[in-house]
Structure 1
Amino acid sequence: MTVQTHLRTIALAALLPLMGGASALAASAHDFTFQGIDGQPLPLSQFAGKTILVVNTASQCGFTPQYKGLEALWQRYRDRGLVVVGVPSDDFGGQEPGSAAQIKDFCEVNYSIDFPMTDKTVVSGDGAHPFYRWAADELGFLAKPRWNFHKYLIGPDGKLQSWFSTMTDPESEKVREAIETLLPATAPKS
């Protein structure tokens, strides 16, 4: 670590409490609940012990085909403990204008999505869902969603492990390797 990097780290650590980061630092992803696309609560605590990939999505985006890769990850790794959670959001370019029912139908019909989905959720700015504010506090300014299909990887212990930008394909080697390091070598026995 260079002296400049070390000084930046110290400065950021000093600023976190002033920016409301102190309480967020103690939290785990398992402390947050979304509203599911079916209108029921979707607590991340139900996935404790599993690896979670949380992705803000949109149905009318140039990156919408990433749904295919997200479903492929879900199918490939779910027996080993991966859960993909789709978080539809209309924050970027108004590219998720539909209702929960319309979003669900779109995802099922066009991409055969069967991983958990939330209701439409604000993921950026002052009104962002608490999970997204916490993730920004935990991983820093650069880790905030800048567009649709931003990805957060959460370990089985509920701690944020990494993030991947919109441009990073869900089936890229980078994403798959990060997921595989958090999963058991074989599927757990039931």
Structure 2
Amino acid sequence: MITDFEVKAANGSAVPLARYAGKVLLIVNTASKCGFTPQYEGLEALHRRYADRGFKVLGFPCNQFGGQEPGDAAEIANFCSLTYDVTFPVFAKIDVNGADAEPLFQRLKADAPGLMGSKAIKWNFTKFLVDREGRTVRRYAPATKPEDLVRDIEALL
């Protein structure tokens, strides 16, 4: 289960994902300087719209795609807050592919492969929907807009 993992907060402290047990999660690898960065607005809208029903967006900055997340944790947090008024958790910067890939993302990719069974994440803003039991339900391509996930999120809520 996804809730068995532990990740790092932006300040480096350990965060057990068990704190999100029983919630529907949308886990996203993010970047501040990407063509898809405006999706922060849609992600925040989903987060606010469904938070009281047990939904949470979790953002994981990643600099593996075109160097589009070059900042440190403070710069990323400042950008998210000032530019998009992000209130959902944005964790420490991670790798999502390769030998140093965050174990959470290794699991997400295994549970919900991409096109033609690909395990790799192709770009920023790949999204994974997780049900209340901590099971990965679906993977969405970077170009999929947050508002296009409403039906799937509501089905799990």
**Match 1:65 to one of 31, 38, 42:** 38
Matched, 1:152 2:128: yes
Contact kept in structure 1, 2:110 and 2:119, CA below 8 Å? no
Equivalent residue runs for 1:1-190 within 5 Å: 28-140=1-113, 141-142=117-118, 144-172=120-148, 175-183=149-157
Q: Tell me the residue number matched to 1:7.
A: none
Unaligned 5+ segments in structure 2 are: none
- How many residue pairs match? The answer is 154
Computing the radius of gyration from Cα coordinates, the structure with the larger value is 1
Structure number with greater CO (CA < 8 Å, separation at least 6) is 2
Q: TM-score, normalised by structure 1?
A: 0.78
Identity of aligned residues (%): 44
CA distance in 2, matches of 1:56, 1:65: 13
Please give the per-residue CA displacement for 1:62-85, whole angstroms capped at 9, x wherever unaligned: 100000000000010000010100
Distance 2:57 2:16 in 1: 13
TM-score, with structure 2 as normaliser: 0.94
Question: C-alpha distance in 1, partners of 2:99/2:112?
Answer: 17
Displacement after TM superposition at 1:38 (Å): 2.7
What letter matches 2:43 in structure 1?
A: L
CA distance in 2, matches of 1:90, 1:124: 11
Let me know the Cα RMSD of the aligned residues. 1.1
Runs of at least 5 residues in structure 1 that lack an aligned partner in the other structure: 1-27, 184-190
Contact 2:62 2:69 in 1 (8 A): yes
User: More helix by proportion, 1 or 2?
Assistant: 1
Which letter maps to 2:44?
A: E
Query: How far off is 1:143 after superposition?
Result: 5.6
